[in-house]
Structure formats: C-alpha cells, structure tokens
C-alpha cells in the first residue's frame, strides 16, 4: 500500500487534497494520469451499461438537492454512524441562498441514486420506456465520514457510478442475479484481480434501511477484505417515498397482473470510482527484476492505461531524430489515440522505467535506422521484448491489441 501511495504521488496520479496547507482529511486531488485512469474507468462503465444498451437512460443531476428529498427518504433521520454513544448524521449540510429570508438548508448528496429517483417521472414522460428499464449516473457524492482512512478507500468526497433498474415486482430475483453477473463481467473487463473479489450476502441487521437484499462485492485490500461495490434490492421504497408510479401498459401475465398503475421495484448496482481505482492499482501493481535491478510496473489493460504508448527519439539533441519522431510518429498517434506521451528525458532505460510505473503498454523509439528504413522499435511493457514495426503500420499495430 505504501508503495502504491508513493508511486501515485511521484508519477502524478493522486495527491493529498490541499496538501500545501496541511491537507484536508478525506479529500484527494487527481493529477494528469489519475484523471486519465478515472476517465477510462468511467468511460468503460458508461459504454457497457449505457451506450451499448437500449434500456438505459443517462442522467446528470445536481449535487445540491432540496432538503425535502432527504427528509422523505429517511436520510435526515437514519443516515448516521455511532459516535460517542450518539448517532452522528454523515450528510454534509450547507446553506443555499443569500438574503436571510431566502436561506435554505441543503445537503450535498450522499448518494447519486436520489438524483435519478426524483427524475423518474421526467424520464418516463420524455422517453416512454417499457419495463424493465434503467437510469444511470456518474457523479460526486459526499459523506462526512467520522474516520476517513485507507488512502482512497474512505473519503468525504468521492464519486459513484450507479444504476437504478426498474422491474415488475415479481421479477426482482431474476434481475438481481442478472445484475450480479453484469457487475462481475465488468470488473473482469477492466482488469481487476478476480481472485481477490468475494461476494458477501449482507445480513438483515447490517443492511441499509431501504434494502431487502444486498450483496457486497468485497476486495482483498492490504488493510483487509472490505466493500468494493454493492448490489441492492431497494424494493419500491424510493418510488413510494416520492409518491411516484408507472402505467404498465402490458401488465405481468405470469403474475396474473393486468395493465394499469404499478410502483416498479428497483435493483441497484452501485460502484465507487475511487474504490475501483484503488483496487485496480492493487491488481495491476507488479515487480520483477530486469537487467539486474528491481523494476515496478502497472500491468493495466491498454483500454484502462492512462497512456497507451510513449514516443521517444533515441537522442533529444539530434534534430533529425526529434523532427521525425514528432511529425511522423507522435502527431499521427496522438491524433488517433489522444493518450500518447512524448518522452525524451534521460536515457532510454530511465524512460522505460518511468513508463512502466505509469503502466504504459508500449514504448516506441525512433533511432538512426528509422531514418533509413521507416521502422521503429516497439517495446512491450510486460515482457520487455522489442520488435521493429513499420511507421506506416503503427496505428494498426496498436489498434489490433486494444
């Protein structure tokens, strides 16, 4: 864990929040490569669960919500942890409005979920979806955690990727199983070490007040086996709470229910971006010995790696190499993939180590042979092996592997 924390700072993934003023507990600031990693994780989630489906509606609701939302859901009364024998509400409270008579209490949302529930009617009216269908949202959530700790694991400001999937009451078990396997599939797709992922059936006493069944996907973190993501059956709790309903034109013949008004039930796969990042870093981190020295590297899958490839002129003081590398290799790769690094600092060995630590799958070196035969060296991060590839085929070479 210490190695990961230090690598994250040294290589520009994540920094302590407000560090030069002594920090602010439970907050982190993301650097260039950390943002890229987060974006790749979020894009992979959005592609799989929104873009590639026909039954999912995206949302981006406001973080500030009317306090009545949280009174209705029971969060004002129940969203609390024990502290000194009392219950401490962990919602972050703020005030909205300037003039005394206009000032209203508001809360920074502790989950993205409610931003979707309160827009259930808007979504149904705008898109006329047939059951089952879902709403999906990625966004920040805030909790005044009593003891933020374990690096990215427990923060006061974090990000969630949540789906509220609306089903006919009789179908909840089927879709609970379905979403369990979808979540596992995605975890594998982004490259989590699945040997460290475990399912925990959450017992009655530990479940949130709105849930009738919850599975926690736990991960073997260095500080113990802890919750990574959650899957909850929220019943009709939220829609009932907000007095929302749905006209089911088809009904449910299997349950002998005719067409008419119903309150759909909800299956909720909920994932934290920050815990996804932390478990991915822990899954990808590896060490081996190369050329008699220990090297550490991040074995990210190419679609998740912050940098897909790095371009290096062998010597930075040879204008013909730099010019070739810049115009004929870096520019076209950058236009194609975006996440391409230019690295001409230090000797080649140092550049490889640096890119290994960032998790860059391929390093491309432009040398004097390149000027004669238009080929470059492509070095593989995991094996250290090098091959010559024609410059004209570089884009294809990489595309075939991602």
Measured from the CB atom, the residue of 65 and 395 that comes closer to ligand GAP is 65
Task: Considering the complex, state which of residue 7 and residue 113 has its C-beta at the smaller distance from ligand GAP.
Answer: 113
Q: Tell me: does residue 162 bind ligand GAP (CB under 6 A).
A: yes
- Give the CA distances from residue 94 to residues 24, 59, 66, 86, 154, in Å, rounded to whole numbers and listed in that order: 18, 24, 11, 22, 21
Q: Decide: is 158 part of the binding site for ligand GAP (CB under 6 A).
A: yes
Q: Kind and range of the H or E element at 71?
A: helix 67-72
Nearest to 376 by CA among 362, 391, 398: 391
Q: Minimum Å distance from CB 74 to ligand GAP?
A: 13
| Helix, strand or coil, per DSSP, at residue 260 | strand
Q: Does 270 bind ligand GAP (CB under 6 A)?
A: yes
The residue nearest ligand GAP at its CB is 272
Residue 39 per-residue DSSP state: H
In 3D space, the residue among 189, 23, 193, 210 whose CA is nearest the CA of residue 113 turns out to be: 210
CA atoms within 13 A on the CB side of 33: 24
Q: Between 38 and 154, name the residue whose CB sits nearer to ligand GAP.
A: 154
Considering only 11-19, 130-138, 263-271, 314-322, which stretch makes contact with ligand GAP by CB under 6 A? Answer: 263-271
Work out which of 40, 44, 123, 160 binds ligand GAP, going by CB under 6 A.
160
Considering only CA atoms, which of 274, 346, 273 is closest in space to residue 310?
Answer: 346
Q: Any contact of residue 154 with ligand GAP (CB under 6 A)?
A: yes
x-or-dash pattern for ligand GAP, window 215-234, by CB under 6 A? ------------x-xx----
Q: What contacts 14, CB < 8 A, 6 or more positions away?
A: 8, 28, 29, 30, 31, 34, 152, 277
- Asked if 366 contacts 329 with a C-beta cutoff of 8 angstroms, the reply is yes
Is 109 a binding residue for ligand GAP by CB under 6 A? The answer is: no
Nearest approach in angstroms of CB 234 to ligand GAP is 8
261: which 2 tokens?
């008004």
At closest approach, how far in Å is the CB of 271 from ligand GAP? 6
Nearer to ligand GAP, 271 or 398 (CB): 271
Q: Which residues contact 338 (CB under 8 A, 6 or more apart)?
A: none
Residue 79 is given by DSSP the state -
Options 42, 145, 332, 384; binder of ligand GAP; rule CB under 6 A: 145
Q: How far is the CB of 148 from ligand GAP (least distance, A)?
A: 7
E strand map for 184-319 = 197-201, 213-221, 224-235, 246-248, 260-262, 265-272, 285-290, 293-298, 309-313
Is there binding between residue 133 and ligand GAP (CB under 6 A)? no
| 113 interacts with ligand GAP by CB under 6 A | yes
Stretch that binds ligand GAP, among 1-9, 65-73, 267-275, 308-316 (CB under 6 A): 267-275
355 lines the binding site for ligand GAP (CB under 6 A)? no
Structure tokens at 277: 């990042």
Q: Given candidates 171, 274, 344, 356, which one binds ligand GAP under the rule CB under 6 A?
A: 274
CB of 131 to ligand GAP, least distance (A): 21
**Number of CB atoms found within 10 A of residue 193's CB:** 17
Binding ligand GAP by CB under 6 A: which of 272, 302, 306, 313?
A: 272
Nearer to ligand GAP, 158 or 297 (CB): 158
Smallest distance from ligand GAP to CB 51, Å = 22
State the DSSP code for 249.
S
> In angstroms, what is the minimal distance from the CB of 83 to ligand GAP?
15
| Angle at the Cα of 385 from the Cα atoms of 381 and 391, rounded to 5 degrees | 85
Give the binding-site size for ligand GAP (rule: CB under 6 A): 18
**Dihedral angle over CA of 68, 73, 74, 80, nearest 10:** -100
Q: What does the alpha-carbon distance between residue 251 and residue 263 come to, in Å, rounded to a whole number?
A: 12
> Cβ atoms within 10 A of the Cβ of 126, count?
10
Query: Judged by CB under 6 A, does residue 189 bind ligand GAP?
Result: no
Residues constituting the chain: 402
Q: Enumerate binding residues for ligand GAP (CB under 6 A).
A: 111, 113, 143, 145, 154-155, 158, 160, 162, 227, 229-230, 268, 270-272, 274-275
């Amino acid at each position: 864990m210490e190695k990961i924390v230090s690598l994250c700072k040294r290589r520009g993934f994540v920094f302590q929040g407000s560090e030069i003023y002594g920090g602010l507990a439970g907050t982190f600031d993301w650097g260039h490569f950390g943002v890229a990693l987060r974006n790749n994780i979020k894009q992979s989630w959005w592609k799989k669960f929104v873009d590639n489906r026909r039954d999912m509606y995206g949302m981006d609701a406001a973080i500030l919500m009317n306090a009545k939302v949280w009174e209705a859901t029971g969060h004002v009364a129940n969203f609390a942890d024990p502290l000194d024998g009392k219950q401490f509400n962990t919602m972050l409270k703020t005030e909205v409005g300037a003039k005394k008579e206009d000032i209203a209490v508001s809360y920074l949302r502790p989950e993205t979920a409610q931003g979707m529930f309160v827009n259930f009617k808007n979504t149904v009216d705008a898109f006329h979806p047939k059951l089952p269908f879902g709403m999906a949202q990625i966004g920040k959530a805030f909790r005044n955690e009593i003891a933020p700790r374990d690096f990215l694991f427990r923060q006061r400001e974090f990000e969630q990727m949540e789906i509220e999937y609306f089903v006919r009451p009789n179908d909840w078990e089927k879709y609970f199983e379905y979403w369990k396997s979808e979540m596992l599939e995605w975890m594998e797709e982004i490259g989590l070490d699945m040997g460290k992922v475990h399912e925990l059936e959450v017992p009655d006493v530990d479940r949130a007040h709105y849930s009738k069944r919850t599975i926690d996907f736990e991960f073997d973190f260095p500080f113990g086996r802890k919750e990574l993501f959650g899957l909850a059956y929220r019943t009709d709790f939220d829609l009932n709470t907000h007095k929302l309903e749905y006209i089911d034109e088809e009904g449910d013949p299997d349950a002998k229910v005719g067409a008419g008004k119903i309150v759909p039930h909800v299956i909720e796969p909920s994932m934290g971006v920050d815990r996804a990042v932390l478990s991915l870093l822990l899954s990808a981190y590896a060490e081996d010995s190369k050329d008699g020295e220990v090297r550490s590297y991040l074995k990210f899958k190419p679609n998740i790696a912050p940098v897909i490839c790095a371009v290096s002129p062998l010597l930075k003081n040879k204008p013909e190499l730099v010019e070739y590398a810049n115009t004929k290799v870096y520019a076209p790769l950058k236009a194609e993939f975006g996440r391409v690094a230019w690295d001409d600092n230090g000797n080649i060995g140092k550049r490889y180590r640096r890119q290994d630590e960032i998790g860059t799958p391929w390093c491309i070196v432009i040398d004097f042979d390149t000027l004669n035969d238009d080929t470059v060296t492509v070095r593989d991060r995991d094996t250290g092996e090098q091959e010559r590839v024609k410059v004209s085929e570089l884009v294809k070479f990489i595309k075939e592997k991602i």
